[in-house]
Amino acid sequence: MSGTDSTAPADLIDAEEDLIPAPQVAAARRRLRTHPALLLVGIVLAAVNMRAALAGVSPLLNEMAQHFHLAATATSLVTTIPLVFMGLGSLIAPRAARRWGTEAALCGALVALCGGIVLRIAPPVAALFAGCAVVGASIALLNVLMPGLIKRDFPERAAGMTALYSTAMILGATVSAASAVPLENALGSWQGSLVSWALLAAVAALVWLPQAVLARRGTHHGEAAATPAHAAGSGPKLTRSPLAWQVTVFMGSQSLIAYVIIAWMPTIFTDHGMGKSEAGLVFAFSTLVQTVGSFVVPTLAGRMRRQRALGVAVSALMACGVTGLLIAPVAGAWLWAAILGVGQGGALGLALTMMVLRSGDAHTAARLSGMSQTGGYLLAAVGPLALGAVHQATDGWTVPLLLLLAVCAGLALLALGAGRDRRIGGAS
């Protein structure tokens, strides 16, 4: 398994895994590593931006729907479109890293993220959806580029840096969700609240700009920053592996549940009489406690040969939280938020860990991560749209939440297959 610490959190696609940098680029990166503070600040700022632009939307969905005169199904596109482009953008990121270098691709992704956030508040509704697409594609690039850069530039402290980057990402989402309504009140509109996060993306892009320029110093115009280490199509055929599909659908199913909660949790609370400020805080709390599950579950998973029981456990936690939303959404809101948060964090951590544990080598793990992330986000995109349509058709949340419970049950069944002690590209 290429010396990976089995107890450390697993990464998403690693854009650096199969790339050999050009000599000039490698030399420039060695010089950049002599100034680790700049790299550290850049990593933290990029990580904070990776979920903030999505989490701050959910508490404002009702205002956005009223402003654009959108029904529930159309409103769900605000969450669905970024997910589609997060899946599709995952295919582009490794190519961008190879062509322009990770630093330049990161800087470009942050510039695009800033533009996408601003585009979402432009007057026509088409601009809202176009901005959502740009935001999703930008986040996909950040998702793919960050893990490899951390392992490359901080090889002796990769676990600690990964924990820092993951914490910054969750804190960014938490602060964005908690401050969405207060910022709306302070700035006078949901547009002001939403666009305020473009400033943070712009600051992050400025921090990465000198690194992007310096990393390409000495290379000729049109010269690629890196070359592939493996031939295209090398390794086992993942699309023919039932185990690879089980891991992919597990990743997609837990993402579907998570993004339905992201899209609709505050709305469920406000539809049952809770104030939108409190609903935003409960949602932010649920996001924050994901850190518990995302730390504990991968640590346990790395010490076990089989992860089936863990998969069933995190599925049961999410099912309990969804059941709470069904029977007493406001009275037990903070409890359901905590249970859902721990379950969501644990399910995501387990999905990422299984990409490594089910692979026979690092090259296969990177390819399985790519398949699971791309397929997973595309599957997850179905959730907010489908449940939004069912909510609109039934004029209530009972049927949508029952359908979400069925997905939780399916996730537990998938865990029985994906959690087996098997390897792709290794001993079966």
> How many residues are present in the chain?
428
* Regions of the chain short of the pLDDT cut 50: 1-12, 427-428
Short-list 354, 3, 348, CA closest to 158: 3
Task: Give the pLDDT confidence score for residue 1 in this predicted structure.
Answer: 33
The Cα–Cα gap between 373 and 425 comes to: 19
Are 51 and 169 spatial neighbours (Cβ–Cβ below 8 Å)? yes
Q: How far is CA 92 from CA 38, 85, 95, 137, 286, in A?
A: 26, 11, 5, 9, 31
CA 159-259-313 angle, 5° bins: 65
- Say what the pTM is: 0.85
Q: What are 115's two structure tokens?
A: 């533009």
Distance CA 392, CA 73 (A): 7
- Which amino acid, residue 67? H
C-beta of residue 424 within 8 angstroms of C-beta of residue 238: yes
Structural tokens at position 354? 């299984």
Task: Judge whether 244 and 371 are in contact, CB under 8 Å.
Answer: yes
> For residues 237 and 32, is the Cβ–Cβ distance under 8 A?
no
Radius of gyration (C-alpha) of the chain in whole angstroms: 21
Distance CA 192, CA 178 (A): 15
Asked if 7 contacts 353 with a C-beta cutoff of 8 angstroms, the reply is: no
Name which of 169, 163, 203, 196 is nearest 182 in CA terms: 196
End-to-end Cα separation, the chain, in angstroms = 15
Q: What is the pLDDT of residues 233-255, one digit of tens each?
A: 567 888 899 999 999 999 999 99
Residues 358 and 424 sit within 8 Å (Cβ to Cβ)? yes
Query: What pLDDT was estimated at residue 392?
Result: 95
d(CA 214, CA 216): 5
Q: What is the DSSP string of 357-381?
A: HTBSSHHHHHHHHHHHHHHHHHHHT
Whether the CB-CB separation of 243 and 418 falls below 8 Å is answered with yes
CA distances from 23 to 20, 77, 201, 215, 402 (A): 9, 44, 31, 11, 56
Q: What is residue 424's three-state secondary structure?
A: strand
